[in-house]
Amino acid sequence: MVKTHQFDAIIVGAGGAGLMAALYASKGGANVAVVSKLYPTRSHTGTAQGGIGAALGNLEEDNPLWHAYDTVKGGDYLADQNAAKVLAEEAIDAVIELEHMGLPFDRTPEGKISQRRFGGHTSNFGDKPVRRACHAADRTGHMILQTLYQQCIKHHVKFFDEYQVVDAIMNNGACAGVVAMQLGTGELTVFHGKATLFATGGWGKIWSVTSNAHSLTGDGAAVVYRRGVPMQDMEFFQFHPTGIYKLGILITEGVRGEGGVLINGKGERFMEKYAPRIKDLASRDVVSRAIYMEISSGNGAGKNKDYVYLDVTPKTVNRYFAEAGDERRITAEDVEKKLPDILEFCRVYLGVDPVKDPMPIQPTAHYAMGGIPTNVNAEAVLDEHWTVIPGLYAAGEVACVSCHGANRLGTNSLVDLVVFGRRGGKNIADYVKRADFVPLPPAPEREIEAELNRIRNGKGKTRPHELRSAMQKEMMQNVGVFREEKGLNGALEVVRELRERFSKDLTIDDKGSTFNTDLMEAWELGCLLDLAEATALAALKRTESRGAHSREDYKERDDANWMVHSLVTRHGSELSPSTAPALTINVNKKVDMSLAEVDPRFAPKVRTY
């Protein structure tokens, strides 16, 4: 009999979304456990640099409706407009609440929260860039995480750090909790809860060049997917335009917000061609494609002409400010003060000093728009009829509300965490008052225990890193910024073959139980392979280009046929990850309310910037 803990609410993940949900569930009277594979303040939220968007209007006029409009437009009109509206409206008091909790935002001279520009954020329905991103230097996420963690401790949330969730316990279509491995001992533990909220973040590790931390392997999405929960909009994975060349480490869009410009190998500011009005601050999908187009037309920099530059040197920035009649000017001290971490990354990893020289950059796999389908209350839903899965919730990057549609705007993820994390927490607090525990099925740990033993004792010839590199290379090449049918079919075949080897021919070195990272990384690879397959399949089926999904063989957006979300579902009762279950893409999940009916300015248009 494995150790079993019982709590009203189990929150899986201690990033911004998990902590906000835990805080609110606890404030609402629930008895809450947070289960996290990382120590909470090591979560990826802590690396978020640029800012959190909210139409506070501290420096110039702003309006939540404009924020909602930008979110819908940036998402290439696939966003559920009710969710985008909730995001924009509730951002305002969520940010003020963070301030009241003690978050040290940068300030204006009058003492208000300072705001900066970010891609795709405009005033008056696309008129001109607006300062909407609230920031604490370039460490905004770090500050959010620290602030929320302190608040959770204060509100008696119980933390199970370094417990890795490896299975979701479903009983009769309802969620009864999770099975986790205590990493320090290798012991399996059951967490039995009335409500379980997944906030496990993204899965950028599917690709070889990514801004994501090593831990972002999609565990939460994969475990519920294997238990029959569909994955929504997996084809939409955002490539951030400015990753450090080859390393993928993110250079925040805040650099362009401060006036930084993109320059090709010929010294030209090329975004003028692609987005004549807002240039370097167009939305990320547009800028990433522009960079690839510059590179493929021979305008890249360096020996292989395979990167471009991001230039934030005062000399260049001030020249463009002057040319544009913009009265702003920056000095080396401003850059040092506003972007300290970025400067350090570049000096340490590249030997480039961004105050004096431009930084070599390339697009980097960054953010999952897709994931576990939920409604605006963070309840997970099963199908196009919005059928709620009792006891199962999701928030943050692992969830697909979908407020970001086909492409997320910068600063909107941090908003998503606090807005929908808070909604999730509040709803859970209500739910656990009226709900009973779903009974645990007999020996809920049995299946996953067998799978972990299979991996541990595998006598094959293939090591996990070989499969991981092959997957990452294939996904980068054929399921990256540009896609087409042949490459996608090829990628699907490669991923399936890799998964076959994963289930038949694996071997690892460490057979022990204490901090067996060898075992857990192999298990995580299984999650990545499952999600890579779903991503490639969804990308193959969507025969149009929209947001982050750009098909070379279907270049146009096709609103008549594809103004719908995709769901990929794993069928069959065979749940062992060692078999290859059928996948189908089958449902058109419609938006449940459209602001287009209320405001004609929200109706789909061809995007111009």
Ligand X SMILES: Cc1cc2nc3c(=O)[nH]c(=O)nc-3n(C[C@H](O)[C@H](O)[C@H](O)COP(=O)(O)OP(=O)(O)OC[C@H]3O[C@@H](n4cnc5c(N)ncnc54)[C@H](O)[C@@H]3O)c2cc1C
Active site residues: 284
d(CA 292, CA 296): 6
Give least dist CB 183 to ligand X, A. Answer: 10
Of 8, 32, 50, 115, the one binding ligand X by CB under 6 A: 50
Q: At 216, which amino acid appears?
A: L
- 112-151 mask for ligand X (x: CB under 6 A)? ----------------------------xx----------
Give least dist CB 387 to ligand X, A. Answer: 24
Of 83, 103, 199, 419, the one binding ligand X by CB under 6 A: 199
- Sequence-ordered list of residues with C-beta below 8 angstroms from that of 80, at least 6 positions apart, any chain: 376, 401, 402, 403, 405, 591, 592, 593
Site for ligand X contains 445 (CB under 6 A): no
Give least dist CB 268 to ligand X, A. Answer: 28
Helices (DSSP H) in 407-516: which residue ranges? 412-434, 446-456, 464-478, 485-504
Of 151, 189, 212, 545, the one binding ligand X by CB under 6 A: 212
Measured from the CB atom, the residue of 47 and 208 that comes closer to ligand X is: 47
Site for ligand X contains 98 (CB under 6 A): no
Q: Which of residues 528-557 bind ligand X (CB under 6 A)?
A: none
Give least dist CB 262 to ligand X, A. Answer: 18
Give least dist CB 367 to ligand X, A. Answer: 6
- Sequence-ordered list of residues with C-beta below 8 angstroms from that of 535, at least 6 positions apart, any chain: 206, 234, 235, 237, 370, 475, 479
Of 7, 10, 15, 148, the one binding ligand X by CB under 6 A: 15
Give least dist CB 517 to ligand X, A. Answer: 13
d(CA 240, CA 289): 10
CA-nearest of 164, 170, 182, 284 to 218 is 164
d(CA 380, CA 392): 6
Site for ligand X contains 526 (CB under 6 A): no
Q: Which of residues 275-314 bind ligand X (CB under 6 A)?
A: none
Site for ligand X contains 494 (CB under 6 A): no
For residue 240, the number of C-alpha atoms closer than 13 Å in the C-beta half-sphere is: 31
Site for ligand X contains 397 (CB under 6 A): yes
Of 12, 188, 221, 539, the one binding ligand X by CB under 6 A: 12
- Structural tokens at position 309: 């530059």
| CA angle, residues 249, 402, 526, in degrees to nearest 5 | 55
Measured from the CB atom, the residue of 178 and 301 that comes closer to ligand X is: 178
Of 72, 165, 335, 587, the one binding ligand X by CB under 6 A: 165
Q: Are strands 482-483 and 550-551 parallel, antiparallel or unpaired?
A: parallel
Measured from the CB atom, the residue of 300 and 577 that comes closer to ligand X is: 577
Measured from the CB atom, the residue of 264 and 402 that comes closer to ligand X is: 402
- Structural tokens at position 332: 């080396």
Site for ligand X contains 412 (CB under 6 A): yes
21 in Cβ contact with 14 (< 8 Å): no
Of 26, 30, 33, 43, the one binding ligand X by CB under 6 A: 43
Number of residues that bind ligand X (CB under 6 A): 44
**DSSP secondary structure letter of residue 348:** I
Site for ligand X contains 364 (CB under 6 A): no
Of 7, 37, 119, 531, the one binding ligand X by CB under 6 A: 37
d(CA 444, CA 66): 48
d(CA 540, CA 528): 18
d(CA 609, CA 607): 7
For helices 517-541 and 446-456, what crossing angle results, to 10°?
A: 110
φ/ψ of 332, rounded to 5, equals -55, -35
Q: Which of residues 52-71 bind ligand X (CB under 6 A)?
A: 52
d(CA 592, CA 84): 12
Site for ligand X contains 390 (CB under 6 A): no
Measured from the CB atom, the residue of 46 and 300 that comes closer to ligand X is: 46
Site for ligand X contains 17 (CB under 6 A): yes
Measured from the CB atom, the residue of 199 and 491 that comes closer to ligand X is: 199
Binding site for ligand X (CB under 6 A): 12-18, 35-38, 40, 43-45, 47-52, 140-141, 164-165, 199-201, 211-212, 215, 219-220, 250, 252, 367, 396-398, 411-414, 417
